[in-house]
Amino acid sequence: MKKQLLIFGAPGVGKGTQAKLIADKLEIAHISTGDILREAVSKETEMGKLAKVIMEKGELVPDNIMIGIVRDTLKEDKCSNGYILDGFPRTVKQAEMLDEILKELNSNDICLINIEVDNKLIIQRLSNRKMCTNCGSILSIDAIEEPERCPKCKAVGKLIKRKDDEVEVIKNRLEIYHNLTEPVLSYYKKKSIKIISVDGSKTIGDVNLTILRELKGYYNI
């Protein structure tokens, strides 16, 4: 059975980290919508050119273009063994459009990984981070042993707190998630797909072990 996974959850639950770990373990493609959007623009694909014009105006890329980029990516050879889709769908409309793509590809058998974390812990996690402007690493303040020194690249004086990680901004992002994205989970619960719900408050390793155990049972691997 081809491994087709969606990873779902609020900002700050660790979707990107888990998606990368799962992709490496199962030897499937990690499809981050942010990454494939930038790649499409860089490669100047038909959809990428359309997206570039919109992005240069500072506007959000509309669903019809984003879904076109997702469609093109899922048809690539790198997805032949399977994939984990990270950051899409974000709305019920996008979920419906993704269903149409999967029908086109005759690939309706998908599994959704739902990572659950309490809002208070998410706010605590995200507001307790800094970014290294030298190497781009996002770091928990607790992991920074020497003041102002990045533990990854060792640069000094390059650590900043991003606007995205300010408490009021985080609360706004969570409100948008609960209003627009959380209904996607209800949409999939009404469909006959496998849903794995995991407590994301545990360590990265424990969350990953739980997900892999469930996947091994589902895919018989």
DSSP characters for 155-191?
A: -BS-EE--GGGSHHHHHHHHHHIIIIIHHHHHHHHTT
Q: In the annotation, is 173 catalytic?
A: yes
Residue 41 has pLDDT above 90, yes or no: no
- Phi/psi at 19 (5° precision): -60, -45
Helix 92-104 and helix 182-189: axis angle, to 10°? 50
The pLDDT of residue 197 is 97
Q: In the annotation, is 149 catalytic?
A: no
Which residue ranges make up each domain of the chain? 3-118+175-219
Q: In the annotation, is 90 catalytic?
A: yes
- How large is the average pLDDT for residues 146-175? 91
Q: Which is catalytic among the residues 3, 15, 125, 130?
A: 15
Can you say whether the dihedral through the CA atoms of 73, 17, 6, 11 is positive or negative?
Answer: negative
- Phi/psi at 128 (5° precision): -105, 35
Q: Which is catalytic among the residues 20, 90, 93, 194?
A: 90
Residue 25 has pLDDT above 90, yes or no: yes
Structure tokens at 9: 């959850």
Mean pLDDT for all residues in the chain? 91
Can you say whether the dihedral through the CA atoms of 183, 72, 84, 30 is positive or negative?
Answer: negative
Alpha carbon of residue 134 to chain centroid: 23
Q: In the annotation, is 129 catalytic?
A: yes
Residue 26 has pLDDT above 90, yes or no: yes
- Residue 217, amino acid: G
Cα within 13 Å of Cα(29), Cβ side: 20
We find that the CATH architecture of domain 3-118+175-219 is 3-Layer(aba) Sandwich (3.40)
Q: Which is catalytic among the residues 78, 162, 189, 213?
A: 162
What's the pTM? 0.86
Higher pLDDT, 112 or 50: 112
- Phi/psi at 138 (5° precision): -100, 120
- What is the distance between the alpha carbons of residues 51 and 34, in angstroms, rounded to a whole number? 12
pLDDT band at 56 (very low <50, low <70, confident <90, very high): confident
Contact assessment for residue 70 and residue 98, using Cβ atoms and an 8 Å cutoff: yes
Residue 122 has pLDDT above 90, yes or no: yes
Contact assessment for residue 79 and residue 31, using Cβ atoms and an 8 Å cutoff: yes
The pLDDT of residue 113 is 98
The pLDDT of residue 85 is 96
- How large is the average pLDDT for residues 72-87? 93
Residue 60 has pLDDT above 80, yes or no: no
Q: Which is catalytic among the residues 2, 93, 173, 194?
A: 173
Q: In the annotation, is 213 catalytic?
A: no
From the list 108, 43, 93, 90, the residue with the least C-alpha distance to 69 is 43
Structure tokens at 87: 């950051």
